[in-house]
Chain A
Amino acid sequence: MFDTVLIRPIINLMLLIYRFLGQETIVAVALVTLLLRLALTPLQLKQQKSAKAQQALRPKTEALQKRYKDDKEKLSQEQMKLYREAGINPAAGCLPLLIQLPLMIGLYQAINRVLAATPLQLLALPSDIYRWIPGMSSLIPLKSQFLWLDLALPDPYYVLPVLVVISAWYYQKLLTPPVADADSQTGAMNKQMQIMMPLMTGFFAATYASGLAVYFLISNLVGLLQYALFRREYATGNASAAPGNDKARKPDRKATRAKASGS
């Protein structure tokens, strides 16, 4: 089911891009990653919007938590009321991520299958190709050489993994909301995440086929571009800049401008 609905369409899209855009595997991998990430942009923005709105309400929810700390049912009712009044669906932040997850896993799997580092991996490919499109089997296996890389093997010089770690670290840093008390449990966890996540991604990039490292890198770069273009939608710091709170947003812009001109 997952194969039919997701992985096979992505594999065949990749093959078509490969076929008609110069027969370069790296172009096919990069373009499909880019297309999917761009297609997911509205969902990600929706998710960020929801997270940001919830963040803006946090002082109020914390006040409610204090007030009703001994009555969980009442707390729940009041929180729901608060969200309803603010026009926020607390589950809205979760749903887009749940839609994105299978797509990203499908993309990862498709790249892995198309690159087929070993004959056993390649053997799984015939059943994934749309035979009704003429000439698709003739494309297999895709050309895996690009500069110093064999895209089916790990990067021998670790250039891509290093780039993946740097881009993942920066993306993570931008996405993580600041906390007042850096020594708190939350602060410590955020710090740990900022280090662990890029390192883990870097480890995968260094261990698996470098075509997958290309996927990680493009994903991170698209994420950074999205952040740069739609920063106001991201819940990364200025809690008062909630959607619809224009008064609160203005000082933020001024502060940013002042900082930019001062630097």
Chain B
Amino acid sequence: MKRILFVFLPPFFLWVSSWVAWGFTGEIHIQPSSFARALFVEKSSLLTLRGPAPEGSQIIIKVVGPDRDFKLNKSGRVFGFLWMPVSHGVVRTLPGMYALLSSVKVAEALSPEEQRAVKLFPDFEELLQQGRVSFQEERVPEEAETLSRDFLRGLIRILQEKGLYQQEEKAVQIAGGQFQAILLLPAEAPLGEYRVSAYALEGGQARLLAIGRFTAKTEGLAAWLARQAQDSPSVYGIIAVLIALGAGAFVGVIFQLGRRS
């Protein structure tokens, strides 16, 4: 019995201590937790993601926004000189915003097997695998697969340019047992709930350290207008017309009075 304990206890304690070290090293903060868009805000806002970094580990943070559909066209040359849409598709099951922030190069820190295991891929590979494209036209499977890849790559490029898809290596700073990263949230980022996952990397392996959520919503007049446009469209439309007519008449009268005086 003693021999058994002698053999198995040290590895058990090692496992427990590492488990404690990985899991209970402190708290991770998202500031602010609820990102509210009022009328007067910056084009993009900053969120701070902070948490404990186990000693000797590197950190990867993944931020995934709410899903949305994207209608896309693929252009091709027709008649030798005209560029026009030659294929149409709808991309589904992709997030409206995605960010992969890390303290190291993901491709170097994780083997392809490990990347697949924890779904942490460089170059938005996760999204290429996750995205589903449906085409208006009938396609043979091979052609559909190639075209899907083109659509997804093109879409990712568009969203990268808008700042909605981000991949920042060395964007996570580690100091004094803590990590910190700044997430740039563009105003175009979809409203809804965002999932944040923090991973710790050690010895070529990644472990999920923590998960969190924050929400993007509107507030004040911006929220009221958005609600009215959806809930009372007739009233909203009439108000819009009356405001426009009032503004037109007001300026007309002002100019008329100005001319008289």
A and B associate in one complex: no
